Structure 1
Amino acid sequence: MRLRKVKYAQDKLRSYPELVYIDPIENKGKWNSIYSNNRPIHLEIGIGKGKFLFELAKLHPEINYLGIEKYDSVIVRALEKLLIEPLPNVRLIYVDAEKLPLIFEKGEISHLYLNFSDPWPKKAHAKRRLTSPLFLAKYQSIIATNSIIEYKTDNYDFFEYTMMTLVQTNSTILKISLDLHKEKDIMNVETEFETKFVAMGNPIYYIRFQIKE
């Protein structure tokens, strides 16, 4: 996907430090304080324009939500939506997910969402995949015990790779779907990409799992 550069993105992001965290390392160990409560924090990595995160936040005001995005031209669109329709339980972080262990203490995150992340199809780039053993270890360093991770993709090869990685790392697979939108027992909130993929007739692959302690 080719990103359309938003020239004013950096300036706008820096204009709302109460909503977007650009230097998140200083909040390590005290993320609950930004919401002024001790409710569980759910994290989405790669929020796009925020559709998924914002819909979840409306459905669950009892949960605090954080969204990470590494592209300024993307996260600024999410910020603009948040300015139009403020959600007190949502905050954004402009950062690369590689820095997760520098941003969060162990146990700060109660639930994790990985939606339609880059499949990095070339074998040489496998370690960049958000379900690689390298990233699973990063998640393990920030999530609470027994936290659940939910993963969605429209890319079968990426899905297959993720399944193999979870088996190899002795992770606990709680639910698998080869066509999420035909499932009746999974509460699903769509992302922007998901809506487009489903309209094209593409199946959505889904895994709910826990990382081995």
Structure 2
Amino acid sequence: MADRRTARSRGKGVALEHLPGKLKDADQAKLLDALRAVMEEAPLFTPTMPRSGKPMSVRMTNCGPLGWVTDKERGYRYQPTHPVTGKPWPAMPKPLLDLWREVAGYPADPEACLVNYYSGDAKMGLHQDKDEEDFAAPVVSVSLGDSAIFRVGGLTRKDKAQSLELKSGDVVVLGCDDRLAFHGIDRILPGTSALLPEGGRLNLTLRRVTKPV
């Protein structure tokens, strides 16, 4: 059966794709178990903003060869080790690699999976994902746990943004014209999922960082 998809286009082909319920309940539970192992090896930490050092409201970790981090001293970047433990990031769970290969339409595997944990009051301001070398590779996002109000706009902060409710198991692909679209999370909707006993939401973003050789 084909996936249910919603998409928007800006003239050059499909840009943002929303695949509601892409991961069924059993798939979500299996992936969550794998992520618990990742977070045990690479604990969640609180990132800070460049220059100001202000703590972000999400906690995060990574898996894969590279991980996205940020701090006051060195800013936004990818690196192969956890900023607190100094250890290499854990391997990316196979279900995430399989998902990328199915939906990304890109000839190389992802190198980073950023794991953001949103508690009930956490949010993420509008931003672009632009620390990667190859914007031809999409960003693939997976939602687990409580629903979130996702906002996506255009290529400038002034462009009109639209809101979309992302539920547990939903997958979003940001590619083509929307690869550099401003996007963020306005708020979490507490109590909308029983997947995480502690509540909140895990958002996984799969990214290719370097250009394939």
Question: Which TM-score bucket, shorter chain as reference?
Answer: under 0.3
Name the one with the larger helix percent.
1
Q: TM-score, normalised by structure 1?
A: 0.27
Select the structure with the greater relative contact order (CA < 8 A; seq sep ≥ 6): 2
Name the one with the larger strand percent.
2
